[in-house]
Structure 1
Amino acid sequence: MTATKRRVAYYYDNEVGNYTFGPNHVMKPQRMRMVHNLVVNYGMHKHMEIMRPNRATFLQMTQFHTDEYIDFLKTVCAENAKDLHEHTAKYLSGEDCPVWEGIYEFCSISAGGSIAAANKLNHGEADIGINWSGGLHHAKKNEASGFCYVNDNVLGILELLRYHQRVVYIDIDVHHGDGVEEAFYLSDRVMTVSFHKHGDFFPGTGEIRDIGIGKGRNYAVNVPLRDGINDESYKFIFRSVIQNVMDHYRPGAVWLQCGTDSLAGDRLGCFNLSMHGHAACVEFMRSFNVPLVVVGGGGYTIRNVARTWTYETAVCLGIEPDPMLPFHDYYEYYGPDYRLDVPSNNMDNHNDRKFLEKIRNRIADTLRQIPHAPSVQLQSVPRDVSTEDEDEEDEEAMNTDIRISQRQRDAYIFPDNEFADLDDGLARTLPNGSGMPYDDLARTGNSNPSDGPANPSSRG
């Protein structure tokens, strides 16, 4: 692993692990708490800025989504879902996207971290921004899809576009990044590149011939893959395609969605990547030294999600973590080997070199049709979206005649140990507006989560 130093900003809200899609749902928000617990116990917090992001406001989320849809997410709950049946059927997709307590707050955490990471890079205060709570790439402008309610990727990329002429979105989730592609299908300012399983597989989109339309023609790149792709094959196609994209498009910033359902042994996936094969994509993008935002996504064998995103945090930092896991709150999840590793298995690889070369060559033909580093007419950079909204909240919070929320109180009153560093006992403060400093060392998570410890034979 390269040891080149990068300034890394890592965003985490400790409340994200408190939410649940339901006891039988495969999406487990507590996986973010497991990742953070490992990151802290490996001591990675000493090598980067850890911040709790400001939660995305209604105004920020409606930069992409419709007002009516976000208002629905803010209003709906288990008690009134039947009364809102007509809207529920319109906006949500049954079992995949059920109604559960705290949808709006969860979305505001996820989107807030991605927007904050983009803002941090825009102001030159970091080289890499990490938000493992993000990457929810299926959400559409006016509806939820595939466990995703608000598309934080689109919101973050819109923030990057305020300062950068061109942005590349790269998706290594096993599922096609349809929500992001659709959002920018008519634009040449964002090139979307998705590596995914295609065929009889959700969401059923992402054919190689889907290349965008209008002004966005040739700026959507789809890499449809077959079952069982391993590290060697994935490395070949990923590096071939991405090197070509970076050479032709010359983006000012890169957005990397790191869904881990492309790992071997995922409950919903059908690829055969090891942790190191998956992380090789992060390392390759880091090597370009272009402003980089790294977010989460899918991943349903949660102990492997935590292992991989922890290791990829280390890749962003340019450090090599101990392969033996440190003792921490979720240690029992990782038996019997207790190692920071997700190995490949003996799945057959249906992606031979001839098939991959055919995909590579066809994509190369498409990329040759775009101009090198296409120019985009830029206007003056508008004021940050969040500023006016936050000023209004601050004014209300200081007015003693107005009842204020607990969240607003938290902005002014902090527990004595909330920002403590275990080494020196001093709070780390940051002179920027992209989020509050947040080590969360005193609150490393619930050691008795609801879905129980995982073991090699479990489906957790």
Structure 2
Amino acid sequence: MRSKDKIAYFYDGDVGSVGFGQNHPMKTHRLCMTHHLVLSYDLHQKMEIYRPHKAYPVELAQFHSADYVEFLHRITPDTLHLYASDLARYNLGEDCPVFDNLFEFCQIYAGGTIDAARRLNNQLCDIAINWAGGAHHAKKCEASGFCYINDLVLGILELLKHHARVLYIDIDVHHGDGVEEAFYFTDRVMTVSFHKFGDLFFPGTGDVKEIGERDGKFYAINVPLKDGIDDNSFTRLFKAIISKIVEMYQPGAIVLQCGADSLAGDRLGCFNLSIDGHAECVRFVKKFNKPLLVTGGGGYTKENVARCWTVETGVLLDTELPNDIPDNEYIKYFGPDYSLRIPHGHIENLNSKNYLTAIKVQVLENLRNIQHAPGVQMQEVPPDFYIPDFDEDTQNPDERISQHTLDKHIQRDDEYYDGDNDNDHNMEDS
């Protein structure tokens, strides 16, 4: 048992200032609310806080097609009319709208997950947190389900440079289809998703029968659930399956996507989980003492998202948080009772004991088909991605730096960096 976990936490206030649109369920503001709640509980004093670097297009193209990355880089709300056919091709539209600073938003949240993976790889921390990450639906060549760039896949690719096997766990109410698809043919990543499953529920995939193919056969695990699952049923099933997976697969690192739309009362969800039930999954995964990368994900009742990820930050820090929310910039959102915990929901639990047992038996049966911890030939570890320095003097001074970029170099009032954090070559100066 290691003495005390060293935790790196990534945040850039700009991720919470973009808008998907007034009537869109995704409110990036939830990230600012989470951060301020974390600060109000003084959790920042127990972690190392970093502003992530903005992922370069060439880094995003480690998974995504170069033409898709280039398109995201180019498109703006003002140029939509020029790209009608491309919008359809890359699935941008109602669910995945084009908004101001879209590409920069992607660069920041993806940069956070990539940086988190690199710090874990270099043993600079034991746990790395990027609540802005977790965009698990994005595909190689298209946006999907409010997700544009799949930071999780990029983070896992980074971890694979140092680890023979990576375990991906997803507790978002929606199936982690983009991550599963990316690693469907390999045994080097095992993807495990606990989600609501049904033909009419997005994305419509994630049946227990989807198990991976070729070298990846039996390395994709899906736990399809019905409406109304509660803390007790969910955590019991989660622990039984995850403990068996860790024992059999022996991952070198774990990535945990903590989508908060599986909480009771979520605008788009249909589960009955309380924050304590959701956080119990995080607590359980932490106990394996593996390098752990934790991200956000879905979550559409924003005050509950902020509550949940703050509690889970506390769990990762072994810190019990008082139920009374301290004063902070967003305190009015947490009324009328200003408490951290939320009650579980009242949707009827359609998951019978027999159904859950049958799912568990099926999953454990599939697990028996994998070799004990597949022996992967590790080649020489590739270096962290090298980004050339640009010589500013050779650039046209009129084009060199925009006011928008210039403003970024000024530390924002709503961020908190203790001292100077540029001790890593891929971290931006704070």
Common fold by TM > 0.5: yes
RMSD across aligned C-alpha pairs, in angstroms?
2.0
Counterpart AA for 2:187? D
Once the two structures are TM-superposed, the CA of residue 357 in structure 1 deviates from its matched residue by 1.3
> Take 1:409 and 1:80, find their aligned partners in 2: how far apart are those partners?
24
The residue number in structure 1 matching 2:367 is: 367
The whole-number CA distance in structure 2 between the counterparts of 1:346 and 1:418 is 36
Matches within 5 A, 1:9-408: 9-199=8-198, 200-385=200-385, 387=386, 389=387, 391-392=388-389, 395-397=390-392, 399=394, 402=397, 403-406=399-402
Cα pair 1:74 1:104 within 8 Å, conserved = yes
**Cα offsets for 1:31-86 (capped at 9, x unmatched):** 10100011111100100000001011000000000011011101111111111000
- The aligned amino acid for 1:169 is Y
Given candidates 407, 419, 424, the residue that maps to 1:427 is 419
Q: In the alignment, residue 44 of structure 1 is paired with which amino acid?
A: L
In 2, the alpha carbon distance for the partners of 1:306 and 1:420 equals 17
Question: Matched residue of 1:83: which SS?
Answer: helix
Distance 1:334 1:377 in 2: 51
Relative to structure 1, the CA distance from residue 204 to residue 4 in structure 2 (aligned partners, 3 Å threshold; closer, same or farther) is: farther
Amino acid at match of 1:368: R
SS in structure 2 at match of 1:191: strand
Structure 1 residue 343: Cα displacement: 1.3
Q: Which amino acid aligns with 1:307?
A: R
Quote the residue 1:449 is aligned against. Answer: none
> Aligned partners of 1:256, 1:418: CA distance in 2, in Å?
27
Residue by residue, what CA displacement relative to the aligned partner does 1:329-381 show, whole Å, maximum 9, x if unpaired?
Answer: 11000111100112102221111222111111111111111111111011111
Provide the C-alpha distance between the structure 1 equivalents of 2:98 and 2:424, rounded to a whole number of angstroms.
36
The answer (yes or no) to whether the contact 2:230–2:272 under 8 Å persists in 1 is yes
CA gap of 1:429–1:83, structure 2 versus 1, over 3 A, is closer
Deviations 1:259-297 (A, max 9, x none): 000000000000000000000010000000000000000
Q: Whole-Å Cα distance in 2 between the matches of residues 155 and 299 of structure 1?
A: 22
**Contact (CA 8 Å) 1:49, 1:437: kept in 2 or not?**
no
Question: Counterpart amino acid of 1:333?
Answer: Y
**Cα 1:420/1:280, change in 2 over 3 Å:** closer
Q: Which secondary structure does the structure 2 equivalent of 1:82 belong to?
A: helix
Question: Counterpart amino acid of 1:116?
Answer: D
Distance in 1, Cα, partners of 2:191 & 2:60: 21
- Identity, in percent, stands at 49
Aligned partner letter, 1:204:
G
**Inter-partner Cα distance in structure 1 for 2:167 and 2:232:** 24
SS at match of 1:338: coil
Judged with a 3 Å threshold, the aligned counterparts in structure 2 of structure 1 residues 104 and 429 are, in CA distance, closer, same or farther, namely: closer
CA 231–43 in structure 1, closer or farther in 2 if over 3 Å, else same: same
- Which whole-Å CA distance do the structure 2 matches of 1:437 and 1:236 have between them? 44
- SS of corresponding position for 1:80: helix
Query: Residue type of the partner of 1:197?
Result: K
**For 1:285 and 1:357, how far apart are their aligned partners in 2?**
22
SS of 1:31 mapped into structure 2? helix
* Equivalences, count: 427
Hey, what's the Cα distance between the residues in 2 that align with 1:203 and 1:294? 22
Separation of aligned partners in 1, 2:392 and 2:233 = 55
**327-336 or 340-349, larger mean C-alpha shift:** 340-349
Q: Is the 8 A contact 1:229 1:351 kept in 2?
A: yes
- Structure-2 separation of matches of 1:326 and 1:301: 20
SS at match of 1:223: strand
- Judged with a 3 Å threshold, the aligned counterparts in structure 2 of structure 1 residues 317 and 66 are, in CA distance, closer, same or farther, namely same
The TM-score normalised by the length of structure 1 is 0.89
Distance 1:139 1:122, change over 3 A: same
- The answer (yes or no) to whether the contact 2:63–2:153 under 8 Å persists in 1 is yes
Alpha-carbon distance change, 157 to 306 in structure 1, aligned in 2, over 3 angstroms = same
Q: Which amino acid aligns with 1:374?
A: P
Indicate the SS of the match to 1:84. helix
Q: CA deviation at 1:125?
A: 0.5
2:401 maps to a residue whose letter is: S
SS of the aligned residue for 2:34 comes to helix
Amino acid at match of 2:392: A
Unaligned runs of 5+ in 1: 439-460
The 3-state SS of whatever aligns with 1:224 is strand
Shift of 1:303: 0.3
**Maintained 8 Å contact 1:132/1:297:** yes
Preserved CA contact (<8 Å) 1:55 1:112: yes
Q: Is the 8 A contact 2:126 2:291 kept in 1?
A: yes
**Residue of structure 2 in register with 1:446 after alignment:** none
CA distance, structure 2, for counterparts of residue 415 and residue 137 of structure 1: 30
- C-alpha distance in 1, partners of 2:322/2:233? 27
Instruction: Give secondary structure in 2 for the equivalent of 1:169.
Output: strand
Rate the CA distance shift 1:419–1:131 in 2: closer, same or farther, 3 A.
closer
Q: Distance in 1 between matches of 2:372 and 2:269?
A: 36
How far is 1:433 from its partner?
2.8
Q: TM-score, normalised by structure 2?
A: 0.95
For the residues of structure 1 that align with 2:337 and 2:274, how far apart are their CA atoms?
A: 16
Partner Cα separation in structure 2 for residue 399 and residue 414 of structure 1: 24
CA 1:371–1:37 in 2, change beyond 3 Å: closer, same or farther? same
Supply the AA of the counterpart residue of 1:125: L
Label 1:298 to 1:123 Cα distance change in 2 as closer, same or farther (>3 A). Answer: same
CA gap of 1:333–1:364, structure 2 versus 1, over 3 A, is: same
Counterpart code for 1:397: E
Task: Specify whether residues 214 and 420 from structure 1 end up closer, same or farther in structure 2 by C-alpha distance, changes over 3 A only.
Answer: closer
Shift in CA distance, 380/354, structure 1 to aligned 2, threshold 3 Å: same
For structure 2, the residue ranges without an aligned partner over 5 or more in a row are none
Q: 2 CA distance for matches of 1:3 and 1:340?
A: 29
d(CA) in 2 for partners of 1:418, 1:279: 26
